[in-house]
Amino acid sequence: MVRFSIRLLLGACLLLATQLAPAQIRMPQLKFADRTLKNGLRVLSVEDHSSPTVAIQVWYHVGSKDDPDHRSGFAHLFEHIMFKSTKHMKSEMMDRLTEDVGGFNNAFTNDDVTVYYEVVPSNYLETLIWAEADRLSGLNVDDANFKSERDVVKEEYRQSVDAPPYGRFFYLLQAKSFVDHPYKRPTIGSIADLDSASLQDVQEFHSTYYRPDNATLVVVGDFDPKQLDGWVDKYFGPIAKPSLPLPRVKVKEPPRKGESRLTEYGHNDLPAVGLTYLTTKRSDPDADALRVANAILSAGESSRLYNALVYTQQIAAEIESDDNALEDSGLFIVGAILSEGKKVEDAEKSLLAEIKKLQDAPVSAAELEKAKNQLITDQLRERETGNGKALALGESAVLLGDPARVNTDLARLQAVTAADIQRVMKKYFTDSNRLVLYYLPEATKKGGQ
C-alpha cells in the first residue's frame, strides 16, 4: 500500500533553505500553473528546466474504496488493464513510448486514488499527452489480455500477502479495522473477487470513473507552457464530460464502542502485535498533529517506540507506526514484530505505555523540533525529482482539495505544538477506540499440530 507522507515542494525557482530560527526552516515555494478545461479536467504544471526530462501524471479520484460490490481489488486490477489496448494503442504501447526511449512508467492504486505516471525525455511530452488522453477516451481490451493480467494481479496478491511472513498480518490489520466503510477491503482485494471480475466490469468502471472531471493532469519539468497548453487542449479538450453524476462513497464508519481483540495465526516464526485507532479524515487539521506524533513514535532510532521496545527493552525486532491519513477516516497503526522468546502481551503493554506517555505529558521543545526537522528533510528528499514534485502537487490537489497546500503545509506542520500532540493523543488513542491484533505462529496454536 502506498502511503503519502510528503507535504512540501521544492520550487522551480530554487532558493537555498535558510534557517530563520530553530524549527523555522524556510522552504522554496513551488510556482505552479492551474487551469481547468471545459470538460472538467484540471491541469497543474510546473516549469523546471534542471534536467531535460518531464514528469507526467494523471490522477483519477477513484480508489479501492470505490471497488464495486463483491469485486474487492477491482480498482487496482483496472489500473493494470489501463496498460492494455485502447482505441489507438496496442497492449503495452505505453511501455514503447516510455521505457523504449529511456523513460519509465508506472501506476499505483490506494484506497482513495489511482495515479498513472511517466517520466520521459522532454522531447516526448506531446506523445505522452496524446497517449494519456487516448486511454482516458476508452479501452479496447480482449478477454485473453484481461485474464492474463488478472493472473498477474493474483501473483501480486500472493507476493504481497501470502509469501512474506507478515503480509497477511498487515492485510488483516486494515481489514479488521473497519466495520462499515469500504476501507475494510484492502486495495489488493481477494483472489475470489478477482476471479469473479469480468470484461464487462472493466467497461462499466471506465465509463463511471475515468472521465475528465474526475481526473487531474500534472506535468513537471522541461516544457514550454504555451506548447503544453496547446497539446492539452488538442488531445484532452475533445473528450466529453459525461452527464451522469460521479458516484461517491457516503458510508461513514461508526465510532468504535469498545476495545476489540483478535488473534490470528500465520507462517511467521516471531509473533507480532498491532494496535489500530480510528482517527480523522486527512483534510482535518488534527491530521497534522497526528503526523508529527507519528514521527515522534517511530521516525528513526531516537524515536520513542524504537528506543523503548527495540533498544532499551529489546522486546521487539521491529516496530511500526503509521498515521495512515486516508481521505474519509484515518487509521493510526502501532505495532511490533517481537524479538525471539518475547511475549505479545508484554509488547502490547510496552506499546500502550508509550502511547500513555504522550498523553500524560507534552513532548519537549527539542523532541518536537527533531520530529519536524525529520519530516522536512524527508520532504526535501522526496521532492528532488520532477516525479516527486508532481506527486506532491497531485496529492494536494486531489486529496486535500487545494493544490496550494503544497506550499502552505510546511507552515501547518511548523504550527503544530506540543499541546496539539497531547490533545490528539488523548482524543483518539482511547481504550474504546482500540483494536488489538495478535498474529502468532501457527505452531503455537493450542491443540494444533
Partner 1 sequence: MIRKIFFSAALCATLGVLSVNAQTPQATPPPPAPPRSVTFPKPVEETLPNGLRVIVVERRESPLVSAQLIIKNGGEVDPPELAGLADMTANLLTKGTQTRDATQIAQQIESLGASLDSGARWDSSFANLSVMSSKVAPAMEIFADVVRRPTFKSEEVERLRQQSLDAVTLAMGDPGAIARLVAARVVFGDSPYGHPISGTTESLTRITAADIAKMHLRYYRPDNAILIIGGDIGAKDGFALATKYFGDWQKPTAPLPGQTMLPAGPSARTGRVIVIDKPDAGQAAVVLARTGINRKDPDYFRGIVANSVLNGYSGRLNQEIRIKRGLSYGAGSSLDARRDVGPFLASAQTKNESGAQVADLLLGEIGRLSSAPPADVELTPRKAVLTGGFSRNLETVSGLVGQVGALALHGLSLDEINHYINDVQEISAADVQKFASKTLDAKTSNIIIVGNAKAFLPELQKKYPNVEVIPVSELDLNSASLKKKETAG
* Shortest spacing between CB 425 and partner 1, in angstroms: 20
Residue type, position 45, single letter: S
User: Least distance from C-beta 328 to partner 1, angstroms?
Assistant: 19
- Parallel, antiparallel or unpaired: strands 272-278 and 434-441: antiparallel
Alpha helices in 90-142 (DSSP H): 93-97, 125-137
Query: Which residues make beta-bridge pairs with 216?
Result: 42, 59
Minimum CB–partner distance for residue 259 and partner 1 (Å)? 28
The residues near 392 (Cβ < 8 Å, ≥ 6 apart) are: 6, 7, 8, 9, 30, 379, 382, 383, 406
3-state secondary structure string across 50-72: CCCEEEEEEEECCCHHHCCCCCC
**C-alpha atoms less than 13 angstroms from C-alpha of 54 in its C-beta half-sphere:** 22
Nearer to partner 1, 41 or 278 (CB): 41
Shortest spacing between CB 438 and partner 1, in angstroms: 17
Closest separation in Å from C-beta 398 to partner 1: 17
For the CB of residue 283, give the shortest distance to partner 1 in the complex, in Å. Answer: 19
Angle of CA points 391, 395, 399, to nearest 5°: 160
Residue (34 or 259) nearer to partner 1, CB: 34
Q: Toward partner 1, which CB reaches closer, 131 or 435? A: 131
Distance CA 407, CA 411 (A): 8
In terms of Cα–Cα distance, which of 253, 304, 428, 294 is closest to 7? 294
Angle 176-62-393 (CA atoms, 0-180°, nearest 5)? 110
Q: Which is closer to partner 1, CB of 284 or CB of 378? A: 378
Cβ contacts of 348-352, under 8 Å, gap ≥ 24 = 348/273, 348/275, 348/436, 350/308, 350/309, 350/313, 350/315, 350/316, 351/273, 351/275, 351/305, 351/309, 352/275
Q: Least distance (Å) from partner 1 to the CB of residue 17?
A: 4
* Smallest separation (angstroms) from partner 1 to the CB of 109: 5
| Nearer to partner 1 among residue 19 and residue 243 (C-beta) | 19
What number of other Cβ atoms are within 10 A of residue 433's Cβ?
A: 18
- Kindly calculate the radius of gyration of the chain based on its CA atoms and give it in whole angstroms: 23
Comparing CB distances to partner 1, the nearer of 201 and 318 is 318
What is the distance between the alpha carbons of residues 449 and 440, in angstroms, rounded to a whole number? 14
**Grid coordinates 511530452 are at which residue?**
125
* Phi and psi torsions of 109, nearest 5°: -125, 135
In the complex with partner 1, which residue's Cβ is closer, 38 or 349?
38
Residue 153 or 435: the one with the smaller Cβ distance to partner 1 is: 153
Buried b (16+ CB within 10 A) or exposed e, 224-257: eeeebeebbeebbeebeebeeeeeeeeeebeebe
Q: How far is the CB of 381 from partner 1 (least distance, A)?
A: 7
Residue 225 or 254 having the CB closest to partner 1 = 225
- Name the residue among 379, 392, 325 with its Cα closest to residue 111: 325
In the complex with partner 1, the residue whose CB is nearer, 359 or 373, is 373
- State the nearest-atom distance from the C-beta of 327 to partner 1, in Å: 17
| Between 123 and 196, CB nearer to partner 1 | 123
| Cβ at position 258, least distance to partner 1 in Å | 32
Q: Which residues contact 315 (CB under 8 A, 6 or more apart)?
A: 309, 336, 338, 339, 342, 346, 347, 350
Neighbour tally for 9: CB within 10 Å: 31
In Å, how far are 129, 169, 299, 398, 444 from 435, measured between CA atoms?
Answer: 46, 13, 23, 30, 22
- Beta carbon nearer to partner 1, 62 or 232: 232
Smallest distance, partner 1 to C-beta of residue 430, A:
29
